[in-house]
Homo-oligomer: A and B are copies of this chain.
Amino acid sequence: MHMEVLAPKISKCPDMEPSYSKSICCPNTRFLSIKKSSKGEQMKNICQRIGIPCRALKSDRRNSFSAGMKFQLDDVIEAQQFDRDTLNAIFEVARDMENIEKNSPGSQLLKGYLMATLFYEPSTRTRLSFESAMKRLGGEVLTTENAREFSSAAKGETLEDTIRTVEGYSDIIVMRHFESGAARRAAATASIPVINAGDGPGQHPTQALLDVYTIEREIGKLDGIKVGLVGDLANGRTVRSLAYLLAKYKDVKFYFVAPEVVKMKDDIKEYLTSKEVTWEESADLIEVASECDVVYQTRIQKERFGERVELYEEARGKYIVNQDVLKVMQSHAVVMHPLPRLDEITVDVDADSRAAYFRQAKNGLYIRMALLKLLLVGW
């Protein structure tokens, strides 16, 4: 595996009849992208017929992509789309990215590429992380946290129309949306890659990837680990995604430590059981912490409690990661947290080398660099 600055991109053409004109075929693609490769052969024939200066025709790289590798990455929509081999392959690229970021300032790997961050609701942390990733690789960014304006109630444009416009301005779209499923719709429309940066209560796959990557980096393995999920296990998409992803590894054991009102839901428990993943619920954080490789703490989300302030206060104070927890944790174990944190981890924990949450945030940068690289220039 190697990297190069300007690898050929091979276009996806939409399903089309032979009579379609050239301008219909690739109305918005700058040059040809690696997207939707399953339609590659069909496209190749059509492009040839209608005379697109199709780089795919001049090189055999497409074949080598699909030949040598287990998968072709078109879009990043949900955590479940990744199998174990894919995850490992992405993590390997993320390690390369870590090297680039640390040792090769001014990388030009994505020079000439333009990413559109199309945010229908502000999420400054996620946006800055993606934009940093793109710029660390020499790419450029178009940004809006105002994307609702595109499809305002007053004007009523569909998401699909917006995507068709934005794909004409950029090479990849990173989208945050308030509706579950929006990312999938965008990807179905776009002829360029789409990354889901969170769609409502739905998915936030890059968060799930960086969590697993962090465990692998910190603990050194993913098989045979013990993970304590602590805090709001009912509402957090983070812990749910993590449970799904880690279920792909061997001999993983979960501990669920949650206040009664925000316990882990049955669907996840049943899923884990069906995958022969061991899990148990516990009310004793200290005991769990002494067993685990990873203590994954989460924030109790006040906004989920509405008027029930008392319930919130009770839940919030119940399981705190503090010096008492650190004391029983093994020396190789780590504390993780998706951030932002309130007081569910006390500030004095930060100085301990096992506090991994800021490194975890930083790993988000490497994962996003890796995904941008893979989607834009391939392996």
Contact = CB atoms under 8 A, between A and B. Distances in A.
Interface string A147-169: 10111001111101110111011
A375 to B, nearest CB: 15
Contacts of A102: 30-31
Interface string A283-314: 00000000000000001001100000000000
A353 B19 CA distance: 9
B105 A122 contact: no
Nearest to A140: B135
Contacts of A302: 154
Contacts of A158: 347
A23 interface: yes
B170 A144 contact: no
B105 A6 contact: yes
Given A106-B111, A342-B156, A144 B168 contact: no
A317 interface: no
Nearest to A156: B342
Interface residues of A, number: 71
A241 to B, nearest CB: 20
B27 A165 contact: no
A339 B156 CA distance: 11
Contacts of A105: 6, 30-31, 112-113
A93 interface: no
Contacts of A169: 128-129, 132, 365
A146 interface: yes
B114 A128 contact: no
Contact of A146 (B122, B299, B303): B122
A359 interface: yes
B359 A23 contact: yes
Interface centre among A53, A107, A339 (most CB of B within 10 A): A339
Contact of A122 (B140, B149, B164): B149
A12 interface: no
A166 B166 CA distance: 28
A340 B156 contact: yes
A362 B107 CA distance: 30
B140 A114 contact: no
The 3 closest A-B pairs by CB, nearest first: A106-B112, A157-B340, A105-B112
15 contacts: A6-B105, A19-B353, A24-B353, A27-B359, A30-B105, A31-B102, A106-B111, A123-B149, A124-B146, A128-B144, A128-B166, A132-B142, A154-B303, A155-B340, A161-B340
